[in-house]
Structure formats: structure tokens, C-alpha cells
Structure 1
Amino acid sequence: MLNFCGKMVLSATFGLFMAFSAFGLSGCKNEAESEKNLADCGELPALEFSENLKIGKLCGEDYAEIRSIVGRDTLIKRFKLGEPLKRVVALSSAQVGYMLRLGLRDRIVAVGEGKYLVDSVVYARVAAGEVAEVGNGPTLSLEKLMAAKPDLVFDFATGGGMDDYERIGAIGLSLMLTSEWQERTPLAKAEWIKLFGRLFGVESLADSVFEQSKSLYLQATNGGVVGVSPARGGSEQQRASEGEACPRVLVGMSYGGVWHAPGGNSFTARLIKDAGGCYLWAADTNQELQFSLEEILQVADSADVWVNPGMFATPEDLIAAEPRVKFIRAFKEKRVYQNDGIKGAGGGNDFFESAVAYPAETLTNLRSCIQNSTNGADSSQKGFDWYHNIFIF
């Protein structure tokens, strides 16, 4: 099991939290000794794409290191890896998605809220009481969590009021925070499947799945469709030099008069770029962008496509929330694409569950939307999977 009694030390210089937990360690004294010894073992090797996950050997033993941005602080934890996990609690959709990709749904003994699950088998098991619901944030039940008797609880931290990892850690359960959602590229997110492979004893399968996903993603980035030889594409600069138009993409939505959009170094910006689009704010490196609606309307006529319009699923929803979006060119020309094309019985969005483990398919899906919005393809086509035109269904 993972032992969560490791101390946290705040570095005044770097604002860096360090903590160490381990499979097989018994008691805080051994853990403190392990922390001291590990300092002499060097650093874990970086993975190919991930910025927040490392897996490798320290002093001849297997470890994982996970970095999470929590508010203004950075939380870094190392975990000594041991026997495969048999019973886990998954409190985020993505954690479920990685396990599903590896055929590990039977290892899930509890989730946060079952209504957000998309996988029909796990959803049915929650409904039948075979998989417990323990809640999230302030609603999390420590009693139900303890009753599930997990080998490990998968959680995450945002630095906000919904965080519950300190409460979980206080009752002595083994805990691991995952931060795949903070990665800035699709392949970096997908690479987290290696951690799940190692934790559950299916490392070879996970490595194989990732290598296949990487190969297909890079092929699709070059303009092809997954499983088909590339027919067009290349970098944004290459397409521009060849005189090929790059569809310009608007992202986000207005809430209370403030338009929220991801920055140019975000996951969404990278996905748009790899899908052959030109994100309007690709050069802005801020994590999150905010504009007035008036500023958006000034550039709206230059956008060919509108992607991820907030929480809104239909044109009527958008108009009801902000009537002035009707002046946005992409809205007027019915080129608005939302990522909620696949939903579960309770309304959960599969983009946050399984898409994270299928980067090539996600890329191809978005590429079809972006390219079909400008190349004269049949606009009634519905085979867009996660991304779909909100004017069609």
C-alpha cells in the first residue's frame, strides 16, 4: 500500500512542497529515513512528453514522482512502487478513463459521483451498489471511503474549496494526487497511462498502448486520418508558405460580460494547432485569458470556427446566456463545435473520461470539425464523436 504519513516541507525559496509516500513502508520513521536516503540517489528521469510525471529507479528501486500546481504552490510527491493494486477509489473522470483503456474497470471499488460516469458497465455497478459513491470535496464521506477498503485513493488538487486530499490523508488512507489535467499537450496527458500500467501490474500493455497512440497522433498531426496515410497537413508555417488558408479558431464564452479563453500554451491551444487550426491567441503565453465581449466582437469576424463554447450545448443555450453572440461570424455561419458529443446515462461528458486516453482519435475528431468548417465538406455529417456541431444535434 501507499503510506500517507510523510511530512510536508515548505521551501521558502521555491514555494515547493515535498512529500514522500511508499508501497511497503511501515511508519513515519522509515519514511523519513527513506526521504533522507533518496536525496543521495539523484533525480528520476523525465518522460518523453509529461511535465508533471516521472517514473524510474532511485537507489535501485522503482519510484513515481508527481508534480501538482496547487494554487500558488507546487506539490511534489514521490511514491515507491510495489505490488499491483487490486482495489482503488477514482475521484476524477480521467483516472477512470486510463483504467478503462487498460481493461482495469474491475479494480474500481468507489468513485466520487456515479452520475458523471460514461462507461455503461461502471455506471451500472454504481447503480447496483457494487461500486460505492463517496462524494467529492465538501460532500466526500470519509466513512464510505474507509468502508471501501482501498489499496489507494486517486484524487486531485486545484487549490480551491473543492479540494479534499488533506481530509483523506488525515485518516491514514494511501493517497495519490494525479495532475494529468494540468499537462499542456495531448501526448503529455496520454503518457500518464504509463503510471497506471505500473501501478496495476500491466506495464507492458500500457507502454504498448502509449506507443501506438503516439504514432497515430503524430501521423494525424501531419494531416492524416488515424489509420490512413497522411494526405495533407504539415505545420502552420508550412501551410502558410504553400498558400493554404489556416482556419482561425475562437475558443471560450462570456460569463457576466467577461470572455474566458485558454492561453496559447494550453492543452486546447496545442490541440487546435495540431488539428490544423490557427488559434486566435496562440502567441499569448498566459495560462488563462480574459476579454470583454466588446473585444471579442472586434475580432469575431476573423474567426472561421468557434470551439468549446463554455458549458452550453445548443445555439439556444448560447443566445439565452449572451444574446450578442449572434453577431459572432462563426455562430452566424453555424460553425460552433462543442466537445460533449458522447455522454453517459447521467449526463457525464466522455471527453473528460475516455478522450484523455485516446489522443489520436481526439485530434482526428477535432481536425475533421476545423477542416470541414472551411473546405466545403458536408455540414450535415454527424460522425464527429466527442466534438460535434451544436447546430446539428
Structure 2
Amino acid sequence: MKKIFLIPLLFLCFLFSCTPKSAKTTNAQTNDTLKLSYAQGFAVKYFPDYKEVIVYSPWVKGTVYARYYLVKDASVKTPSDGTKVQVPLRTLVATSVTHFEFLSLLGQVETIVGVCSPRIIYNKEINKRFAEGRIADLGDAFTINVEKTLQLKPGALMMSGYNQNDPYAQRVSQAGIPVLFNNEWMETSLLARAEWIKFVAAFYNKEKQADSIFADVDKRYNDIKAKAAGVKTKPNIMVGSNFRGTWYMPSGRNFMGKLFADAGSRYFYANDTTAGSLPLNVETVLKNFSQTDVWLNCNFNSLDELVKADSKHALFRPVQLKQVYNINKRLLPSTANDFWESAVARPDLLLSDMIAILHPEILPGYILTYVEKLK
């Protein structure tokens, strides 16, 4: 049975300002600040000789997780409270698949010289370059091969930040290679996650291009959201799968929960304010969802496979109606799934998928991108 390993939905939902809260004093005068519409985890400020990029901590409200000073000339003096990064980056090690589509949209895939777990990468260009030996395998993202990384001498290493010290990242940083913490995964909305393309773009001096790309995605998302907002009937949905006796469903504050609301659905936990995801037992799910209309994000590839995995699945109305959908349409034999990769930067396509399932009259003839109906 083919299965994908779902990225955990247990994301803490803190709100923090996009306005820099730096305690440092400097004689440099800021000229401008990068405009952000949704993302709350980073900020970019512009000074005459450098750019200041701040990553805020999602775990300790109001504090700085990392600070970078971006310079064209390495000899430029910058404040001592951050990491100096020479830009535009010429080479990069990228450790998470969630960062690849940003680089692809910005036309910077060729700068990638090292990746982690290449088996789960969907991007065709990256796979081609890896097969040609132009991209190195650096092992697992949580235990990255430091020696091999240092041999590549990349301009920077981009990784997801976590609420703990990473000894591997520390060793890379101590060797003089900037470690860039891309924390898009901690945002609480799909558009906020997608706006991190502007964070990536700052290290390539591609802010204008990123702003244009994101503006298009933002417009398409909100245009299709507006169409769904006027529907008279909202289908009741259930989400996720039973995994070893536990069923993880998104809370209403989770970015997936918000997606389902934007798609014009009724969801039992839509008003739940719990951060992240809800671990439920099968009995609770049966009680609250047995009579729903549609089952979304199911982690199986056929109805037979679904029922064989647990006979209780046959008790759910969506199974009887054959209205069950997975997120495996772009799943490779290697288990690489583009849902976890490009959908981060293209929430407009993901929302379109959901609306096409729940309200097909809104998007007649639409071909699903990430979602597939179980047969």
C-alpha cells in the first residue's frame, strides 16, 4: 500500500507583528521596509549599504529568532548583532522540500548545490540536476552531513527553524556558512506561508519579482474565495486519516482549517481555537463525522485499500457515496509528493481544487492539480 508521510499539522498559532522590534542602536537610516500583507514571521528593512532581514520567533512572542545583514560587497561593515550574507547568493544548500517552489518561481534552482532526502523531492529540474551529479545528497535534514556541506562551500544553508538548538546547523554556522531559517511552516494561513517567497527573494535581490509573483497568487486566491463565499449550500466535510488508532484533524485556526472555510464547507471543528491539529480516536470521529458529505485529504489511494485498512471506514457516509479524495495526484513512486512542495507557494491552486470538489458549478471543467478522487 502506497502511503505518504504527512507533514505534521501541529503548528503553534501565535500572532506577532511584522514590524521589526530591534533593540540595537545604529546611525544607519532606514530608507524603506518590505511590504508584507500576511506573513508575520519575518521583516526586511533597507539601509543605504545593506538590507536587514529579521526572522521572528514563533515560540517566544516579540523576540528575534535570527537576524541577517545582506550586502553586495563583503567588505561593508554591518552591526554585530546579526549574520552577514553576501548577496545575491550564487550557491545554496536547501534542506526542506517546502522551499523549492519559491526558488523555482524565482528562477534560482540552478543555485542549489545540496539537498536532503532527495528521494522525496518532486521538482523535475532538481531531480535532473541531482541525477547529473550537480546536486549533492546531504542526508537527513535533522542530521545533515556537515562535512559534506562544508566541502560544497555554499553561499548559505537554508533550513526550517525549530524551538531548539540544532548542533548540525551550529557547526555549519561556526564554519562561516550563513544558516538561513525559513519558517514559513509556522504561519497560520496559506497566503502567509506563500508570502515567504519574499524572504527567499531578498537573498537573491529579486524582491520586485517576488512581489509580482505573490500579488498574482494573492489575487487568484481571493478571487476564487469570493466566488465560494456566496454559495447557498455548504457541504459537511471530514478530513485526514486514521493512523494507528489516532486521527489528526486540523483545528479552525490551523491553515488547513482556514482553507476549508475559504472553500465554502462546513467543518465540525471550524470554531475550535486549539493551535495546530487535534488528535482524535476513531470513535470520536465516527460520532462527529459519520454523516458528512465529503472526505478530504484521505491518505489512501483506493476505496478498497481504505476499507481493508480498517473496516470502520465503511461506516462513513462519504465512503458509501464515493466522495473520498486524497492529495496524491502528484505522487511519484519514490513517495515524493508535490502537495508538500509546490502547493506551499501556490495556495490558489489548492483552494481551486477544494472548491472544484465542493462546488463544481463554480469551476466547470476544472482539472484538479493536487487532489484525486478515490475509486
User: Is the TM value for this pair above 0.5?
Assistant: yes
Q: Is the 8 A contact 2:329 2:370 kept in 1?
A: yes
The residue aligned with 1:387 is 371
Superposition deviation, residue 72 in structure 1:
11
The residue aligned with 2:348 is 360
Check if 1:94 corresponds to 2:98.
yes
Instruction: Work out which of the residue numbers 316, 319, 329 in structure 2 matches 1:331.
Output: 319
Inter-partner Cα distance in structure 2 for 1:332 and 1:74: 50
Inter-partner Cα distance in structure 2 for 1:301 and 1:357: 33
1:237-261: per-residue Cα shift (whole Å, max 9, x none)?
A: x54xxxx211112112222322211
Check if 1:350 corresponds to 2:338.
yes
Percent identity over paired residues? 25
1:112-131: per-residue Cα shift (whole Å, max 9, x none)?
A: 12111112121021122111
Matched pairs, number: 339
Superposition deviation, residue 40 in structure 1:
10
Instruction: Work out which of the residue numbers 54, 59, 64 in structure 2 matches 1:65.
Output: 54
1:247-286: per-residue Cα shift (whole Å, max 9, x none)?
A: 1121122223222111111110111111122222110011
Q: Is the 8 A contact 2:248 2:280 kept in 1?
A: yes
Q: 1:317 to 1:71 in 2, by over 3 A?
A: farther
Inter-partner Cα distance in structure 2 for 1:162 and 1:322: 39
CA RMSD of aligned residues (A): 3.3
The residue aligned with 1:76 is 65
Instruction: Work out which of the residue numbers 295, 302, 306 in structure 2 matches 1:306.
Output: 295
Check if 1:55 corresponds to 2:44.
yes
Superposition deviation, residue 166 in structure 1:
3.7
TM-score, structure 1 as length reference: 0.77
Check if 1:267 corresponds to 2:280.
no
Give matches, 1:178-197, under 5 Å. Answer: 178-197=182-201
Superposition deviation, residue 137 in structure 1:
4.0
Q: Aligned partner of 2:373: which letter?
A: N
Inter-partner Cα distance in structure 2 for 1:199 and 1:45: 13
Q: Is the 8 A contact 2:93 2:156 kept in 1?
A: yes
Q: Aligned partner of 2:53: which letter?
A: A
Superposition deviation, residue 323 in structure 1:
2.3
Inter-partner Cα distance in structure 1 for 2:56 and 2:165: 20
Instruction: Work out which of the residue numbers 341, 349, 361 in structure 1 matches 2:329.
Output: 341
Q: 1:169 to 1:377 in 2, by over 3 A?
A: closer
Q: Is the 8 A contact 1:341 1:386 kept in 2?
A: yes
Superposition deviation, residue 163 in structure 1:
8.3
Q: 1:376 to 1:293 in 2, by over 3 A?
A: farther
Instruction: Work out which of the residue numbers 286, 291, 300 in structure 1 matches 2:274.
Output: 286
Instruction: Work out which of the residue numbers 284, 290, 310 in structure 2 matches 1:295.
Output: 284
Q: 1:40 to 1:129 in 2, by over 3 A?
A: closer
The residue aligned with 1:25 is none
Q: Is the 8 A contact 2:116 2:141 kept in 1?
A: no
Q: Is the 8 A contact 1:117 1:344 kept in 2?
A: no
Return 133-142 or 95-104, whichever deviates more. Answer: 133-142
Q: 1:114 to 1:382 in 2, by over 3 A?
A: farther
Q: Aligned partner of 2:351: which letter?
A: L
1:209-260: per-residue Cα shift (whole Å, max 9, x none)?
A: 111111111111112xxxxxxxxx32xxx54xxxx21111211222232221
Superposition deviation, residue 60 in structure 1:
7.7
Check if 1:256 corresponds to 2:244.
yes
Q: Aligned partner of 2:356: which letter?
A: S
Q: Is the 8 A contact 1:110 1:134 kept in 2?
A: yes
Q: 1:155 to 1:138 in 2, by over 3 A?
A: closer
| SS at 1:99 equivalent | helix
The residue aligned with 2:80 is none
| SS at 1:37 equivalent | coil
Q: Aligned partner of 1:274: which letter?
A: D
Give matches, 1:76-155, under 5 Å. Answer: 76-82=65-71, 83-137=87-141, 139-155=143-159
The residue aligned with 1:221 is 225
| SS at 1:217 equivalent | helix
Q: Is the 8 A contact 2:102 2:345 kept in 1?
A: yes
Superposition deviation, residue 167 in structure 1:
4.4
The residue aligned with 2:213 is 209
TM-score, structure 2 as length reference: 0.80
Q: 1:108 to 1:367 in 2, by over 3 A?
A: same
The residue aligned with 2:307 is 319
Q: Is the 8 A contact 1:251 1:261 kept in 2?
A: yes
The residue aligned with 1:27 is none
1:341-380: per-residue Cα shift (whole Å, max 9, x none)?
A: 11346331111111112221221122112224xx7999xx
Q: Is the 8 A contact 1:46 1:53 kept in 2?
A: no
Inter-partner Cα distance in structure 2 for 1:376 and 1:322: 35
Return 162-171 or 261-270, whichever deviates more. Answer: 162-171
Q: Aligned partner of 1:249: which letter?
A: I
Q: Is the 8 A contact 1:69 1:158 kept in 2?
A: no
Q: Is the 8 A contact 2:146 2:168 kept in 1?
A: no
Inter-partner Cα distance in structure 2 for 1:63 and 1:139: 29
| SS at 1:346 equivalent | coil
